[in-house]
A and B are shown apart, each in its own frame.
Chain A
Amino acid sequence: MIVDLEPTDDQRLIAESVGGMLAASLPVARLREASGNGAQPENALWSSLAELGLFGMGLPEEKGGFGYGLPEEMLAARELGLVLASPSVLAQMAAAHLADDGLRPAIMSGEARCAFASLGFDGTVWLYDGDAASHVVLLGDGAALLPRDAFGNWTAQVPMDETITLANAIAAGDLPARDNVAERISLLIAAATTGIAQAATAMAVDFAGQREQFGQPIGSFQAIKHSCADMAVRAAAADAQVRYCAITFGRTEDDRREIAAARWLATDAAIENAKANIQVHGGMGFTAECDAHLFLKRAHLFSALGSSRREEERRIIADAD
């Protein structure tokens, strides 16, 4: 199998139009004041995101989609990661693949609203940014789309990432087994997570070129320069793997392990790059005022969406049992 990983002109255009819209309306700086407000800016934008075609992007035309494929959808997901968009935007994209014919139009129009929830070890379900949601995309080994009220009462909790809202409930029933749709959703999460890793790298590089100590930009010191180079390498590795999976999905026997690898690499890149970005910023990096911590918290949140590095390791190696 031969794959070309460079975006086509058409794909570049899609990434640019989604990215441009997001950068203009959801600058990362919005999150500085967001404490406790959850996804309000995203909520206000929901119908524009629907009009942009984001929520049905990867669906075939007979299902009302644009006839784009996973590569286009993956590029859009990466753009969401770059601006730290609420996980609910991605949940809405995921829901379009899980919904039945009856519900799908409402998902694509944004009328029904979705949010991600993860199944914890003890059966607790954790809901992210789900205040405005009518439906929940529940992620464990498999994935399911359920009405938000299927879980009874949600109890509000205080999240590590205070730019989203968090609530928990007790799981209702079993999740379906992992299938192709769950794999596809996992790849989209990996793409968004890669976006987080790329954005953290860009922020570190930008600061390292400007901040001066000892009469020179700190980026001229190798400890900092090499840390930035390693960030770029981790992000590039995750990005290449995610793009590779987006093209080969459904065409090999190795989807499961290739996607698990993508997810592992993306999580690793996002968390490690976010940590390195804090260190590059020095004292400023430890403050609430500096955006660096936002990347760390969001990276951890995305790593826990129905997954963890440990679980992905199990999937990567599973066929070797």
Chain B
Amino acid sequence: MKLIEDPSLDRFRDECRAWLNDNVPRNARPSEGLELRAYDMAWQRTQFEGGWAGVSWPKAFGGRGLSVLEQLIWHEEYARAGARTSASMFVALSHAGPTLIVQGSEDQKSRHLPAILKGEETWCQGFSEPGAGSDLAALKTRAVIDGDHLVVSGTKIWTSYAQGADYQELLVRTDPDLPRHRGISWVICDMTLPGIEVRPITTMTGYAHFAQIFYDEVRIPMTNLVGQLNGGWGVAMTTLGFERGTGTIAHQIELANTVERLITTAKETYDRATGKSLFADAAVASRLAVLRAEVAALRSLTVASVSRGMREEIPGAEGNIPALYFGELTRRVNGAVIDLLGPGAMARGGSHNLPKAYLESFKWAIGGGTSEIRRNTIGERVLGLPKGPRAI
């Protein structure tokens, strides 16, 4: 436990800040669909041209290869500059790309990695199915080998940013007779292939954030297989250690800003009945104080997890602790905004669309692993409690 004082890091921070100030897009970001995709790709291109693409990727693969501390600084400055998180580029930059770096063939790497960094291709993640969510290994989308192709039939659901995505990391069942974790393969699916239909799904916020995808005898070349045939579970579970806990910093800072804005608004909002500000109400002040304490704790948990990340190569199950805390706290913070600010908070529009942020906040306790699944993992893999019943 110590303060890290390193003038070269201060210079690095100045460099990040200056570049971000000059380059972060100032135009409004579209909420969905192809316009959103175009916006995110253009911003990625700008980062590439400025030498900031793939901050956590190793240099050998075209990334910036920042150390953990430099990543921390970059993400802090990124949030401070008001840059938006990578959204349509997220799967490509934080999941598919790193997976290819670790597991992909030379051909797969040279084909996709530079294009991702330049913002020329977007990816989506085809893991979940209607019958396989938390229990991912129950997936049924079938791939049959036909010569040098896999023929895929089935459906995926809740696929974020599927609209317009160029590629998909697709998990398919290549051998239904093997035990369920062993008959799965990880393939690169070109989303323009014949037989693929993308049906957007509107979320509770009112935007088409994700989609259901149907595959009708889609022919994918065997060369798109990543890792071994039937080895896809291992590929999907490859622990991608590039980010070392720094990936959520921008979200965490954004949440802290939301609490500070709420405090300011509570001070500036007067209750006609009492003639006092909302903040002058002890019950309101108490609630705001607790939220402030909790966002401070989230910041400290994130710092603790980055500190661990500086030392361990492979992130452990402990990462579920800040993730669970973040998901639950995000819901509480945005819930308080709607709860405290009265009828005015229920109108959309304005510089901060409060209803959208509130409705959006529910996803953080579901997507990427529900809070319940995270509690299971903390119980079993961090605390060592006995496993519950499992399907085999």
Contact = CB atoms under 8 A, between A and B. Distances in A.
B300 A251 contact: no
A5 B245 CA distance: 13
Given A3-B3, A205-B384, A313 B263 contact: no
B310 A228 contact: no
Interface string B291-304: 01110111111011
Contacts of B297: 237-238, 240-241, 261, 265
Contact of A240 (B72, B288, B303, B374): B303
B70 to A, nearest CB: 10
12 contacts: A3-B2, A219-B379, A222-B388, A228-B383, A229-B379, A232-B382, A232-B383, A241-B296, A241-B300, A244-B296, A313-B285, A317-B263
Interface string B222-244: 00000000000000000000000
Interface of B: 1-4, 6, 9, 69, 72-73, 263, 267, 279, 285-286, 288-290, 292-294, 296-301, 303-304, 307-308, 310-311, 321, 324-325, 372, 374-376, 378-380, 382-389
Contacts of A216: 386
Contacts of A237: 294, 297-298, 300-301, 325
Interface of A: 1-8, 11, 71, 75, 205, 208-209, 216-217, 219-222, 225-226, 228-230, 232-233, 236-241, 243-244, 246-248, 251, 257-258, 260-261, 264-265, 310, 312-314, 316-317, 320
Q: Which 5 A-B pairs have the closest CB atoms?
A: A240-B300, A313-B289, A225-B379, A219-B385, A261-B293
B286 A4 contact: no
Contacts of B279: 320
B383 A2 contact: no
Contacts of A313: 285-286, 289-290, 293
Given A241-B300, A317-B288, A5 B1 contact: yes
A7 B378 CA distance: 22
B375 A230 contact: yes
A229 B303 CA distance: 20
B388 A221 contact: yes
Given A6-B308, A265-B293, A317-B289, A232 B378 contact: yes
A228 B289 contact: no
A317 B285 contact: yes
A2 B72 contact: yes
Nearest to A257: B292
B379 A236 contact: no
B1 A71 contact: yes
A70 to B, nearest CB: 9
A207 to B, nearest CB: 11
B304 A240 contact: yes
A241 B378 CA distance: 20
B3 A243 contact: no
